[in-house]
Structure 1
Amino acid sequence: MRSIWNGAISFGLVSIPIKVVNATESHSISFRQIHTEDGGRIRYRKFCELEDREVSQGEIGKGYEDADGSIVPITDEDLAELPLPTAKTIEIVAFVPGDRIDPLQMDAAYYLAASGAPAAKPYTLLREALKRSNKVAIAKFALRGRERLGMLRVVGDAIAMHGLLWPDEVRAPEGVAPDVGVTVRDKELDLADALMDTLGEVDLDDLHDEYREAVEEVIAAKAAGEAPPSAPEPATGGKVLDLMAALESSVRAAKESRGEEPAEVRRLPERKSARAAPKQAAGKKSTATTKKTAAKKTAASAKKSTSKTAQGTKKAAAKSTAKSTTKSTAKKTTAKTTKKTAARKRSA
């Protein structure tokens, strides 16, 4: 790895010659600006305002623009001769617990490599001291034209340095948090904990840049004269209003994605008043149905009784009429017979 800075670590009276190399690398895809009509490259040319001509890179230097607009030239030699002990030295100023460093201050990361055989012993001494103390070293160093703050820690068998922002470069989180009062229930926290337990364990080596891979597929397809792959349809979900339901669904989905059995999550019991209404309505419906059935039975019974009474009345009337008719006929017959007998006697 190519070094970007050469100097020494100042550890009290101990000086450790080191080389600084980048600890990270970018895999992002870069694009060129082109003329859309013919695909020609777009390039920027650098012109001098006073001479109105293009200048080469070797003719370009640094300058500071003053308040009145005048330019003060600054050369690399001027910066190299800065009266700072950190110009070529990473000066350790303190050792503190690692949790004292706010991650918001973390910046670029570098590896510090021992420069030559004489640096091996003091380099190893500093590394082992950091390991045994479980602390990190806070240091000041100058890089790329300005003094910076750094944190030294052990990574494997090497010493790494993280550039740190100065405390006044980190903004306070004012106006970021919700400005309304919100109450979180214990059940919601329990579900959030369950979701964190499910999603919390992951091997960082398994994570990769899917966006970069998708861009590479598009580039490969267009280079081969093929149509680029189409984007999948985004999931159309409605606005989630029930936080509990969203948490429960998230826990189930996370467990299923890991091949685990769906989470058995029980909802909080609802209020009794909320359940009383349906039961009361059901009771009313049942009572109405019972009353209606009883009314039908009573009506049918009354109708049947009325029919029987009417039939009995008709039969009694018919019987009475027949009896009266028989008596009347008998009287007429007796009277007729008496008259005939009397006539016969007079004739004799």
Structure 2
Amino acid sequence: MLHVRSIWNGAISFGLVSIPIKVVNATESHSISFRQIHTEDGGRIRYRKFCELEDREVTQSEIGKGYEDADGTIVPITDDDLAQLPIPTAKTIEIVAFVPEDRIDPLQMDAAYYLAASGAPAAKPYTLLREALKRSNKVAIAKFALRGRERLGMLRVVGDAIAMHGLLWPDEVRAPEGVAPDVDVTVRDKELDLADALMDTLGEVDLEDLHDEYREAVEEVIAAKAAGEIPREAPEPAKAGKVLDLMAALEKSVREAKESRGEEPAEVTRLPQRKTTRATPKQTTGKKSTSATKKTAAKKTASAKKSTTKKTTSAKKTTSTSKTTAKKTTAKKTSAKKTSARKRSA
């Protein structure tokens, strides 16, 4: 850590205690940097800084800061102007409170720094603050100025050192409005059980075992092209099928996670399939057709029987009427004969 250049020198203000410190970066980037080139001949593309008034290229030592006013006027601002700002945080990390660590929203986390004790006189107060933070199980909230603006920070113990995380101001964190699904979704207990089983199967991981595979692949490509070789082709990504059944996807994930760890496939209970409202066309089979034909034939026979019954009933009624009429006619004739015989006797 001694070879790391400090980016800020000042002191921690802990009440009336002042702790001289140096601020150094706690992280480093391992990403691969690329240069812009002219694709036709491989020449470097460079950006040169020109002064608009003198129309000439200037060196870095000739470049300073300036604030552009609304009317286009440039107001020069020097490093001395910023160093003499009338605020206590210009050269001081001012501790303002101590809070439980879980009170800090991870969304506020920004860059991380180590605070190194500056010189032998700083060793005792530095150790005092470190041990006080350890015993309290709290973190310190502080204000400090860096790179032209006042910032918020969180001090915590890392090993035997004090680390500081830059924090965004609360009004710099956006609210998650419009991010969550805007439809009502019901998650069943069985689905949650399978999700829990998948989480348990995946288990924990040692972060030291994780590495940047993308960077390694880029380094392979660079090495191959530098040696005049053709970089190996990337395998085709597996085609992702459309997930129609969440339960099936969870079950398969649990099985694959188990198998990847050399464990027996997970035993899961399949939920009964939900009834779908999708209309499925009915398939017509020979049996159904025969049945339908029989039903139609039965209906026709019943109709014919009804018709026959009606005709028979009608015929019977006609016969009965005829007989009644005949009887009445015979009776009339008999009565007439009797009347005629009486007249003759008289």
**TM-score (structure 2 length as normaliser):** 0.78
Q: Which residue pairs with 1:328 in the alignment?
A: none
Q: Which moved more, 1:40-49 or 1:209-218?
A: 40-49
Q: Shift in Å at residue 204 of structure 1?
A: 0.3
Q: Which moved more, 1:120-129 or 1:92-101?
A: 120-129
SS at structure 2 position matched to 1:253 = helix
Q: List gaps (5 residues or longer) in structure 2.
A: 277-286, 292-346
Q: Which residue pairs with 2:206 in the alignment?
A: 203
Distance in structure 2 (CA, Å) of the matches to 1:37 and 1:266: 62
SS at structure 2 position matched to 1:86 = helix
User: Is 1:147 aligned with 2:150?
Assistant: yes
Q: Which residue pairs with 1:214 in the alignment?
A: 217
1:132 pairs, out of 113, 135, 138, with 135
1:242 pairs, out of 238, 242, 245, with 245
Q: Which residue pairs with 2:15 in the alignment?
A: 12
SS at structure 1 position matched to 2:22 = strand
Distance in structure 2 (CA, Å) of the matches to 1:231 and 1:218: 11
Q: Which residue pairs with 1:31 in the alignment?
A: 34
Q: Which has the larger radius of gyration?
A: 1
SS at structure 1 position matched to 2:88 = coil
Distance in structure 2 (CA, Å) of the matches to 1:152 and 1:125: 14
Q: Paired residues, what number?
A: 278
SS at structure 2 position matched to 1:3 = coil
Distance in structure 2 (CA, Å) of the matches to 1:270 and 1:59: 74
Q: Shift in Å at residue 200 of structure 1?
A: 3.5
Letter in 1 for 2:95: I
CA RMSD of aligned residues (A): 1.9
Change (3 A) 1:271 1:82: closer
Q: Which residue pairs with 1:337 in the alignment?
A: none
Q: Which residue pairs with 2:116 in the alignment?
A: 113
Q: Shift in Å at residue 48 of structure 1?
A: 1.3
- Equivalent residue runs for 1:281-296 within 5 Å: none
Q: Which residue pairs with 1:58 in the alignment?
A: 61
Q: Which moved more, 1:72-81 or 1:191-200?
A: 191-200
Q: Shift in Å at residue 199 of structure 1?
A: 2.0
Distance in structure 2 (CA, Å) of the matches to 1:43 and 1:270: 64
Q: Which residue pairs with 1:300 in the alignment?
A: none
SS at structure 1 position matched to 2:184 = coil
Paired-residue identity, %: 92
Distance in structure 1 (CA, Å) of the matches to 2:73 and 2:274: 76
Q: Which residue pairs with 2:255 in the alignment?
A: 252
**TM-score (structure 1 length as normaliser):** 0.77
Q: Shift in Å at residue 145 of structure 1?
A: 0.9
Letter in 2 for 1:85: P
Change (3 A) 1:252 1:50: same
User: Is 1:190 aligned with 2:193?
Assistant: yes
Distance in structure 2 (CA, Å) of the matches to 1:271 and 1:205: 44
| CA offset digits 1:284-340 (Å, max 9, x no partner) | 99xx9xxxxxxxxxxxxxxxxxxxxxxxxxxxxxxxxxxxxxxxxxxxxxxxxxxxx
Q: Shift in Å at residue 45 of structure 1?
A: 0.5
| CA offset digits 1:198-220 (Å, max 9, x no partner) | 22400100000000000000000
Letter in 2 for 1:104: L
